[in-house]
Amino acid sequence: MTRLDRAKEKLSKTELDALYISSEINQRYVTDFSFTDGSVLITREKSYVITDFRYLEAAKSHVVGDYEIVTPDRRKGDYLAELCRKNGVKTLGFEEKSLSYAGYRSLSEKLPGITLVGVGGFVEELRLYKEPEEVESIIAAQRIAERAFSELLPDIKRGMFESEAALELEYRMRKLGAEDKSFDTIAVSGSFSALPHGVPRNRPIEDGFFTFDFGAVVNGYHSDMTRTVVVGKADDEMKRLYNTVLEAQLAAEAVITEGYRNFEADKTARDIIEGAGYHGCFGHSLGHGVGLEIHEEPRLSQGSGDTVLKAGQIVTVEPGIYIEGKYGCRIEDMMLITEGGAEVLTDCPKELIELDI
C-alpha cells in the first residue's frame, strides 16, 4: 500500500471530496518526492502532483503512487480550480497550519462554490507511524551523529570555543554522510548549560557540564540526541545531579512500551527528578516524535491526556535538570515503539564522562 493509498483510504472516511496539500513536508511524504513551489491534490478518484518544468523529469522517475504529474501553463490557483471542477469537488480539505492567510484568501477566490474545510493534521497523523524504510533512515542518521560525537570528544581542547565545538560536530556529521544537521547544534558549557536551548557562544568552553544536543539528516529524516559531559572534574553535587537525570532517563526508557500512556512516561522521569529534590528544575516535557521534522507528534508530556504509545512511533526520551545561573544537564535517546514493546535506537554510552583537558 503506497502512502497515497493510505491517504485516500483516510479521505474516504471523511466528508471531503478532496485534499489540497500545501505543506512541502507533507507533499514529500505522500509522494516520496521532494519539491518546492508546487502542491498535491488528492481526490477520491484521481490525484495530482502540481509542479513546474524544473521538477518534471525528476518527478516522473521519483514520485511514488498513482499520481498524474502536471505542469500548469497558467496560474496554479486557476489550474487547481479546473482540476477541482473536473473531479466534481464540492468540499475541499486544506492544511490550515501551512496555508497562509493570503493563500487561503486566494484559494477562496479561485474556488467559488467549493466549501473549504481545515483538516488539522490529516497527513501528520499518517506520519505518526513509521514504515521500515523511514526507521532505517532515522537509524542511519543516528549512527552518523553518535559516531561524529565519539570522534569529536578526544579532540576537544582547552580554549576551544563552544561555537567551534558545535561546528566541528556538524562538519563531521556531513563528512560521515549526513545531508544536513537536524537543527542548529547546541553546545553549551559551564553556567550556560543551564539553558536547555542555549546558542553556542564565541568564547572558550568553561569547566563543568558541557551539553551537546544535535542530530543528522538522512533521506530527509532527522535524528536527535543529547549527551552531557564534564570538562575537568565533577564534584559530588554535579555527580548527584547527573545520576538523577540518568536514573530518570533509564526509568522512562524501562517503562515505555506499546500501549503505555504518554503522560505517564513523562511522569516516571519527573517523579524521580522531583523526588531527588530538584523541584521545578525540569522545565520541559520528556519527549517528542521525530521524522521528516525534528519535532513532530506524538508528545510525551503532562498534557498528553489519554494518548498511548503505538507501534511504529519514534519518540525521544530527554529529561534534564537545569539550575538557573549555575549549570544544567540533559540526556536524550530516541526509542522505537514496536508491537508489544519498544527499543532504544541510540547507541552511545551514558555514564558520566570527565574530559581531562
Q: Which residues of this protein are in contact with Zn ion, per CB under 5 A?
A: 213, 224, 226, 316, 332
Query: ∠ at Cα 106 (104, 108), nearest 5°?
Result: 70
Query: Which residue number, 168 or 332, has a Cβ lying nearer to Zn ion?
Result: 332
What's the min distance (Å) between Cβ of 261 and Zn ion?
A: 20
Query: Which residue number, 51 or 226, has a Cβ lying nearer to Zn ion?
Result: 226
Query: Which residue number, 184 or 324, has a Cβ lying nearer to Zn ion?
Result: 184
What's the min distance (Å) between Cβ of 213 and Zn ion?
A: 4
Query: Which residue number, 184 or 343, has a Cβ lying nearer to Zn ion?
Result: 184
Query: Which residue number, 156 or 300, has a Cβ lying nearer to Zn ion?
Result: 300
Query: Which residue number, 134 or 213, has a Cβ lying nearer to Zn ion?
Result: 213
Nearest CA-CA partner of 318 in 259, 212, 245: 245
What's the min distance (Å) between Cβ of 204 and Zn ion?
A: 24
Measured over the CA atoms of residue 67, residue 71, residue 72 and residue 78, the dihedral's sign is: positive
What's the min distance (Å) between Cβ of 345 and Zn ion?
A: 13
What's the min distance (Å) between Cβ of 309 and Zn ion?
A: 16
For residue 266, count CB atoms less than 10 angstroms from its CB and return exposed for 0-12, middle for 13-18, buried for 19 or more.
buried
DSSP states along 62-105: H--SSEEEE--SS-HHHHHHHHHHHTT-SEEEE-TTTS-HHHHH
For residue 352, count CB atoms less than 10 angstroms from its CB and return exposed for 0-12, middle for 13-18, buried for 19 or more.
middle
State CA 321 to chain mean position distance: 22
Measured over the CA atoms of residue 158, residue 160, residue 166 and residue 167, the dihedral's sign is: negative
Tell me which H or E stretch contains 139.
helix 132-152
What's the min distance (Å) between Cβ of 294 and Zn ion?
A: 7
